[in-house]
Amino acid sequence: MQKTTSTLIILLSALLMSSCAGIKYLTVETREPAQVNLPSSVLSIIVINNVVKQPNDVGHDSIPIGNTKPERAKASSDSVAVFYAEALAQFMDEEDYYYQVMYYNKPLRNDLDFFVEKPIDPETMNSLRRETGADAIISLDKLFIETKKRDHFRQQGYTYADMTGKINSTFRVYMPTMEGKIPSVQYVDSLRWEGFDIQDGRAYAEVMIPSREEAMRILAVRAAEKMTYVFAPHWEMQDRWYYTSSSSLMREGEAYARGSEWSNAIEKWERFYNNRSKKIDKAKAAHNIALAYEMLDDMSKAIEWAKVANNLFNESTAPNSLERRRSQLYKNEVERRFNNTNRLNMDDF
């Protein structure tokens, strides 16, 4: 099994802050699942670069001052694919989910067919797995980066311009399966810069655009970071809240919540819920109970009480009330986390 298996939510802040009367906020960290669920038998992964270097004159253009049509430009993408794959391996390893994440530093393709994807064949896959001891291979099978620059005006000898960079990549996961499935993930993203085009190192401006080569590296690192969340579970910071009141039971529940004693908080809030007749009071108690069960990682109970709270808020507040909208958002979030918990526990595709 992988290093991290728990999907428990962790309370990060014991200091709870109030933004309006009757509500206390807290910050939590949630375990979000990978988008591609690999079997629990996958303990080690190797990331490889399986693309041909992009030709310098492909994907780049410029629109000079006074022109409307783009002109072809050149930029070296040397080592960008290597940079991308190596960064992905490093980021995945830092997530500390798999026992081992390696980068394969040997070139896999020696041809010049840049526009042709060549997925890894079963023989090569098995050879790589034997050589590295990896259970699965994550292969960068396609990488195309564009940079488009438009010049606006010149000032003190330097051009003010904007540049847009776009990255389009495809990763595949190779591993032995009975069904012969090969999960494929495409990632497309873009960034825009605007400022002075200063590349000579002799001047400085507060706002500058990167060189095309630097822009491609920036895009590669950003893409590697995003793709990490596709292949490995990760932590995210989120806000939560609970309701307070002058009731002794609600105050006692809050005191237990401050100490992360959620079972005791539930007991107090449930007593308050059962003793009240006003729907708005019961709704607030039900929300608190749902939150407490989420903190205990009992997502089934959390959903049950979040639905109760949402129904009561709908019955006791105006259609456009903040409480009703807030309750709906929380119910949706708990349901999303419940579904993601199931994904984390999957052992096959």
CATH number of the structural domain spanning residue 158: 3.40.50
Residue 49 reports pLDDT greater than 60: yes
Q: pLDDT by residue (tens digit) across 263-312?
A: 999 999 999 999 999 999 999 999 999 999 999 989 999 999 999 999 99
CATH number of the structural domain spanning residue 257: 1.25.40.10
The pLDDT of 321-344, averaged and rounded, is: 83
Considering the domain architecture, whether residues 188 and 216 belong to the same structural domain is answered as yes
Q: pLDDT by residue (tens digit) across 147-167?
A: 999 999 999 889 999 999 999
Considering the domain architecture, whether residues 22 and 52 belong to the same structural domain is answered as no
Residue 12 reports pLDDT greater than 80: no
Task: Please count the other Cβ atoms lying within 10 Å of the Cβ belonging to residue 4.
Answer: 16
**Number of domains present in the structure of the chain:** 2
User: What is the C-alpha separation between 63 and 151, in angstroms, rounded?
Assistant: 6
This prediction has a pTM of: 0.70
Residue with tokens 């009240």: 276
Q: Which of 196, 200, 199, 203 has the alpha carbon at shortest distance from 160? A: 196
In a domain, 5, yes or no: no
In a domain, 317, yes or no: yes
Considering the domain architecture, whether residues 136 and 228 belong to the same structural domain is answered as yes
CA of residue 31 relative to chain centroid, distance: 11
**pLDDT tier, 235 (very low <50, low <70, confident <90, very high otherwise):** confident
The pLDDT of 43-54, averaged and rounded, is: 96
Considering the domain architecture, whether residues 197 and 283 belong to the same structural domain is answered as no
User: What is the C-alpha separation between 339 and 337, in angstroms, rounded?
Assistant: 5
Considering the domain architecture, whether residues 63 and 82 belong to the same structural domain is answered as yes
Considering the domain architecture, whether residues 266 and 181 belong to the same structural domain is answered as no
What is the residue range of 330's domain? 13-33+242-344
Q: Three-class SS of residue 314?
A: helix
Radius of gyration of the chain (CA): 27
Cα 42 to Cα 243, 271, 344: the distances in Å are 43, 46, 13
Considering the domain architecture, whether residues 324 and 217 belong to the same structural domain is answered as no
